[in-house]
Every structure is written in C-alpha cells, then in structure tokens.
Structure 1
Amino acid sequence: MPITKIAIGNTTEATHPEALRAALAEFISMLIFVFAGEGSGMAFSKLTSDGATTPAGLIAAALAHAFALFVAVSVGANISGGHVNPAVTFGAFIGGNITFLRAILYWIAQLLGSVVACLLLKFATGGMETAAFALSANVGAWNAVVLEMVMTFGLVYTVYATAVDPKKGDVGVVAPIAIGFIVGANILAGGAFDGASMNPAVSFGPAVVSGAWENHWVYWLGPFAGAAVAALVYDLLFIGQRTHEQLPIADY
C-alpha cells in the first residue's frame, strides 16, 4: 500500500541547504503564480468597474492561471519539483515521494509566497482588494468541498501521471503543460461555483490580505482530500509495489 511508504524525514532537513533552496523555489513559484492569477481577476474588476463576472472573464481567468502555472511549475521543477500547491505536496507525501519535514518547509514557503504576492498586488494597484474565494449563490459548503475534491483529484492525478510515475518516459517533458491545462480546464468547470481554487495557498493569500475567512476551510479540506485519493489511486493501481526510495527531486 502507498501509505506504508510515508516517511517523516530527518530533522536536519529543516536546515539543509538543498531543502532550503527547494523551499525558496516554491516561494518564488507561488509568488509568480498568485501574482498573475489573482492579478488577472483584479485587472478584470478594474476594467469593468467591479462589474459582474462574465463568461469572457471566466475564460480570461482560466487562461491566466493556466499560463502562470505552466511557468511556475517549469521554473521550479528542477529545484523543488515545482509543486506550487500545498495539496500537490500533500499528495506527494501520501505517495511516499517527499518526507513530512520537507513538506512542512514547502507548505510554509507556498503560503508565504501567496501572501507576499497579494500584498504586492494590493500595493501596486493602489489599494485594490484582493478578493478572497467565496461560494456562489445556491452552492453549499459541502457542495464546494466535493467540487474542490474532484478538481484537485484531476490535478494531482495529472501530476502523478506526468511527473511522478517513474515509468512516465518522455511524457515527463510535457508535465508543466498538462498541469497548467488541467487547472485552466477546471477553472472553466468550477469557477462559476466556488472560484475553483484547487490550491489552499491560492485561497490563503487573498484571505489573509482581505480578512475574509468565510468558508475558508472548504479550500483546504477539498483539495487535501482530492490529493490524497489521487495519490493513493495512482500509486496503488499504476505505480505498484516498490521499495521506499525517494524519486529524484526533479521528478516530484
């Protein structure tokens, strides 16, 4: 079972230069991603004078997030694995591909990267609000949990298939493209209902800066649950039994 491959790690990882460099790479990648993604929404509000979201606005948001994530994953891939998402890190941990202590470093870096990106956006736009994720009318909290879970399942399953699977072969070179595409597609599917976060850090930064925390737990529970299921399913069914040996850092 994949769960048996979970590793806590050595306490020296917290100060090891390689681990700290990887955490810094996650911080920078997350800053790039959130600045572009959240910034696209703020630009839409600026252009429409805080008008209602339109289909064109949803498409623009999907494209902005897909492009930004493609870049963010690509620039971090050879240093940290290009997780750019606490849920992806959690999925890698569940599959035994990253230790718990390194995961904690990644989570801290990812959350800080999102907060800093939102603070920079607020300053650079003259104080515009960084809108926190929220549920649409007639969408309950548990509806959103299921939505976030399914969308994040698709994301982490894609990460496993294109970046983690040791049998991936040449398909690994398209991993950042595939990961960006699935996020963009999921935003088109779920953006009108709950914003389609799939990423606790992406939800965390705007919530910190705006002070809006209503239903924030949804954007943690759904993605973490979806990531865990995807990691277990892919590892159990397609990677199969193997000894507990961490993949090279670039592969996760």
Structure 2
Amino acid sequence: MVKLALGSIGDSLSVGSLKAYLAEFIATLLFVFAGVGSALAYNKLTSDAALDPAGLVAVAVAHALALFVGVSMAANISGGHLNPAVTFGLAIGGNITILTGVFYWIAQVFGSIVACLLLEFVTNGMSVPTHAVATGMSKLEGVVMEIVITFGLVYTVYATAADPKKGSLGTIAPIAIGFIVGANILAAGPFSGGSMNPARSSGPAVVAGDFSEIWIYWVGPLIGGGLAGLIYGDIFIGSHDPIPASDAYP
C-alpha cells in the first residue's frame, strides 16, 4: 500500500531540512561532476565521441565511486539520495514527505545543472554529453530499461539503508548503492545510457539545450523507483512508523 504523506511547509523549511537540501545539492553536484566529467575526459583523451568497451568501464567505475562517496558524505544529513527516483521511491514507502521530497528534487536537479555548467567552463566549452536511447531501440524499450535498472537501484537502497532491520548491513550501504549503479551502467549504458537518475540526465540536457528524450529519464526511473518502494516497503518492511520532521530515512 502506498504510504505517501504530504507533510507541512513548517517541517519542510525547518533548519534541519534546509541543511538536508544543501547537502543534496553539494553531493549531487560532486557526483555529476565526476560522472559526466569522466565521459568528457574519455572523449578528450581519445578524440572519439563514441565510448568503446574500455570507455564504458571507465565511466561505470567513475559513477560507482562518485556515488559511493556522495551517498557517504550526505547520509548523516539528508540520507544521501542524490537522485529524484530514490527520493520518490522512499516517499512511496513513507520515509519522506511529498513536500520535502519536492525540495530534494529541486536541490538535486540544480546541483546537476551547476555541475554541468562548471564542466563546460573548465573544459573550455566541450559539449556535455546527454542521455539518449541507442539507435535501433524504441523509446518504449528505453523506458523499460530505465525502469528495470532503477528498480534495482532503489531496491538496493531499501535493503541496505532504509530497512529498519538492516542492522550492520547499513554500514556498507553506500558501497552497495555505488556498485549497483556501476553494474547497471555496464549493462544498460550501450542501450539507454544507464541513467537511473532524472537529475543526472537533466543537468546535461539543460546545459546542452537538448530536451528531446529527457522524458524517458524521468518516466522510467520514477516508475522503477516507485515500484521498488511499493514492493519492498509493503512486503518486506510491512509496518510503518510516523514520518520524522526532517530525516530522510532511518
């Protein structure tokens, strides 16, 4: 059963919540800077806009490491979402209110945009690569790919970080979350781009001015994240405690 709660403006604008939004902004900025920057660096070193297998591995590893660090640095302040799909999945399970989640989204997308603007500046105007479905794939296939891989990501977040029964497993949550993102990029990168993250896709789209396929990277991840929150929250967690005023998840 969906456990969405609207929340209140007072709670969403509390000092603790404002600190959480800042933490999400900074952590998402650093994650996207490293992730998108790894693709730019590969293009710079090879003068080739198309990633080969070695480039795919490099980009996947960069995203995995950057997300591991980003989640770790924000976990004690905001919960370390860095991703609107994660925030939505946690809202479905009753771990964050809708109003606070919307502010998380704003901070995450803004952090991604700033990261891409900085990358464009420090690389002397190199084009920031945007996510797009591979040639020969339909838009629907891209959406389904993003649903599946984002489901895996948010399910991992629940299992290692949001489940109150996680125990000592919570200490490795950032590593597990980084690993699943890296693995999913290796699997989906040549097909849908392996985004799993609407903010990660939106920053490059805004800076490049290319919104032609951005809907895929909102619809797919939000459906996948929502399904993971619904399934794990209902079946494996079951019970539901009142939502804290400013905490993202336990």
Range of TM-score over shorter length: over 0.9
Q: Which runs of 5+ in 2 are unaligned?
A: none
Partner of 2:70: 72
Partner of 1:219: 217
Measured after TM superposition, the shift of residue 53 of structure 1 is 1.3
- Secondary structure of the corresponding residue to residue 224 of structure 2: helix
Measured after TM superposition, the shift of residue 127 of structure 1 is 0.4
Partner of 2:204: 206
Which shows bigger deviation, 152-161 or 42-51?
42-51
Structure 1: distance between partners of 2:179 and 2:244: 27
Structure 1: distance between partners of 2:169 and 2:248: 14
Letter in 1 for 2:234: L
Structure 1: distance between partners of 2:77 and 2:104: 12
Measured after TM superposition, the shift of residue 55 of structure 1 is 0.2
Structure 2: distance between partners of 1:157 and 1:190: 17
Partner of 1:153: 151
Structure 1: distance between partners of 2:154 and 2:65: 18
Partner of 2:227: 229
* Correspondence 1:86 to 2:84: yes
Letter in 2 for 1:209: V
**Residues 30 and 182 of structure 1, relative CA distance in 2, 3 Å threshold:** same
> Quick check: 1:152–1:223 contact (8 Å CA) kept in 2?
yes
Structure 2: distance between partners of 1:143 and 1:210: 24
Question: Which of 101, 125, 130 matches 1:132?
Answer: 130
Q: Which runs of 5+ in 1 are unaligned?
A: none
Structure 1: distance between partners of 2:28 and 2:174: 14
Fraction of identical pairs, as percent: 58
TM-score normalised to structure 2 length: 0.97
Question: Which of 113, 116, 120 matches 1:115?
Answer: 113
Measured after TM superposition, the shift of residue 6 of structure 1 is 1.6
Measured after TM superposition, the shift of residue 48 of structure 1 is 1.1
How does 1:23-102 map onto structure 2 within 5 Å?
23-102=21-100
Measured after TM superposition, the shift of residue 251 of structure 1 is 3.7
- Secondary structure of the corresponding residue to residue 126 of structure 2: coil
Letter in 1 for 2:38: S
Measured after TM superposition, the shift of residue 58 of structure 1 is 0.3
Which shows bigger deviation, 207-216 or 59-68?
207-216
Question: Which of 15, 18, 28 matches 1:17?
Answer: 15
Structure 2: distance between partners of 1:242 and 1:95: 8
How far does the alpha carbon of each residue in 1:140-182 deviate from its partner, in whole angstroms, 9 at most, with x for none? Answer: 1000000000000000000000000000000000000000000
Structure 1: distance between partners of 2:82 and 2:104: 9
TM-score normalised to structure 1 length: 0.96
CA-based RMSD:
1.3
Letter in 2 for 1:102: T
Letter in 2 for 1:63: V
> Quick check: 1:94–1:232 contact (8 Å CA) kept in 2?
yes
How far does the alpha carbon of each residue in 1:174-230 deviate from its partner, in whole angstroms, 9 at most, with x for none? Answer: 000000000000000000011100000000000000011111100000000000100
Structure 2: distance between partners of 1:243 and 1:170: 21
Which shows bigger deviation, 220-229 or 14-23?
14-23
- Secondary structure of the corresponding residue to residue 128 of structure 1: coil
Structure 2: distance between partners of 1:6 and 1:19: 18
